[in-house]
Amino acid sequence: MAEGAYASQVGWLRTRLGASWSGFSPGTDDFGNARLAAAGVPMELRRRIRRDQVVATRRAAAAVDHLFEHSGGEVVRLGNPVEQAWRNIHTTQAHALNDLDRTLVMYVAGELAVDVHPPMV
């Protein structure tokens, strides 16, 4: 089941990468549609993207942690790709924009129609 989901996602991403590498393809994504309409990105979409970004960062860190924990003692050697990925993802996760609590509070506040301050979105 997981392999089928993965294959489906890879196929979908290949079509997305094709559009991004060959230039903008009208009607393929919300950001492109907003740009074509000369409109801003709706706040609801911005909140959802921020939430998804932070949750994805957290999940990526958990996956890399799992790899790191099961790689044995050699993993801590400088230059090891898993060690490098571990440092990179934890540095990314430490950035203020990837603060899970703040982002989820901002997302829920927007869902409940409480004022959301745009600099965090």
CB burial class (10 A; 0-12, 13-18, 19+) of residue 103? buried
Please write the tens of the pLDDT for every residue from 105-117.
889 888 888 776 6
Residue-level pLDDT at 38: 57
Cβ proximity of 48 and 103 under 8 Å: no
Q: How far apart are CA 58 and CA 65, in angstroms?
A: 10
SS3 state of residue 59: helix
Of residues 36 and 11, the one with the higher pLDDT is: 11
Q: Which domains does the chain have, with CATH numbers?
A: 1-41 (no CATH), 42-121 (1.20.140.10)
Residues whose CB falls within 8 Å of the CB of residue 106, separated by 6 or more in sequence, listed in order = 47, 50, 116, 117, 120, 121
Q: How far apart are CA 29 and CA 16, in angstroms?
A: 9
Across the range 8-36, mean pLDDT stands at 63
User: What is the residue-averaged pLDDT of the chain?
Assistant: 79
- The structure's pTM equals 0.61
Please write the tens of the pLDDT for every residue from 48-91.
999 999 999 999 999 999 988 888 888 887 778 888 889 999 99
Residue-level pLDDT at 113: 82
**Residue type present at position 28:** T
